[in-house]
Amino acid sequence: MARTIGLVLAGALVLGLVPGTLATSPSAVDPSTLTPPPNPNFVWNCTSNGQRIDCIGVESSSAIDENPDPAFSCSGVPILVTFTQTLTAHRTHDAEGRVLRNHTIGTFDETWRLAGMSGPVLTSRGRWSLVVTYAEPGVVESRTIAYSGAQLTLSAPGEGVIFQNTGHIVTNWDESEVLAVHGPFIDFDAGIAAACDAFGA
């Protein structure tokens, strides 16, 4: 919420007069004590100001010529993926450590090639965000999950973009039900089919 300069100055004056009453120095919090604990694959830094707990987490990963899933294939020939990915998350909790919201920014860059072939090489990238909101603090079954942005853009040499999932999608707590969709989301199988066409397979 935007605030006027006068309000900001007044707030600063009050904090300067009674810092012990309205603000406390952040103290470290063990992530494993939170409800539920954050993803252990991230490196977390969690602090409490006495009123809420904030956690910042980062996960970096990469691989060379990895086949992430049997579904990544063309007529049984694996699609090999080389990638780098960085996820940066900000989790907010109440004073008791129960999670209220998780906001994650994801970026990845990839190349795809068909096993046994030197080319063509497809390129893919993602620039997206994930927001998980808890209707009941710390209760996983009460959450909704929202993805936004360009979750996957796949391009082929000489063709440009051949497959794209972008926009906004909201699901229930375990992603078994889609609650809302805005944007040109494409079926995963159609995306793999587009890749196989580009490979000539």
Of 119 and 101, the structure prediction assigns the larger pLDDT to: 101
Given a cut of 80, whether residue 10 has pLDDT beyond it is: no
**Residue pointed to by tokens 């209707």:** 135
CA dihedral 135, 137, 141, 143 (to 10 degrees): 50
**What pLDDT is recorded for position 19?**
43
- Asked if 61 and 79 count as a contact pair (C-beta separation under 8 A), the reply is no
Q: CA-to-CA distance for 14 and 147, rounded, in angstroms? A: 39
Average pLDDT over residues 105-110: 98
The per-residue pLDDT for range 167-181, each reduced to its tens digit, is 999 999 999 999 999
Are the C-beta atoms of 114 and 74 separated by less than 8 Å?
yes
pLDDT per residue as tens digits for the range 47-59: 999 999 999 999 9
- Predicted pLDDT at 184: 74
